[in-house]
């Protein structure tokens, strides 16, 4: 598991709360961190299992958008 990548994902989800789905996260990190290429689904899954993020399907969207939980905000503090 790439701990640094998990932290970056958590920060991105906090910044773009409920606005980004996995592909946007993947593209951002792949471009800005070419030394640790995606996919990042394992890290996203781990963050969900730890209760730091959640996913929601919003009306009119086929994608599940990620949002940060209270535990995720506390981890970033």
What does the block give as tokens for 77? 């503090």
Rounded Cα distance between 31 and 52, Å, is 24
What does the block give as tokens for 45? 């899954």
Taking the chain (77 residues) in runs of 10, the rounded mean pLDDT of each run is 89 93 92 87 95 86 89 95
Q: What CATH class is the domain 3-76?
A: mainly alpha
* pLDDT value of residue 2: 85
pTM, two decimal places: 0.88
Q: Return phi, psi of residue 60, to 5°.
A: 85, 0
Domain spans, the chain: 3-76
What does the block give as tokens for 13? 């989800």
Half-sphere exposure of 26 (CA within 13 A, CB side): 9
The residue length of the chain stands at 77
Angle at CA 41, nearest 5°, toward 39 and 42?
Answer: 110
């Amino acid at each position: 598991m790439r701990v640094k990548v998990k932290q970056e994902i958590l920060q991105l989800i906090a910044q773009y709360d409920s606005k980004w789905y996995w592909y946007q996260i993947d593209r951002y990190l792949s471009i800005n961190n070419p030394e640790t290429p995606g996919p990042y689904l394992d890290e996203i899954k781990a963050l969900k299992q730890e209760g730091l993020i959640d996913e929601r399907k919003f009306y009119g969207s086929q994608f599940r958008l990620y949002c940060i939980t209270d535990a995720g905000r506390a981890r970033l503090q």
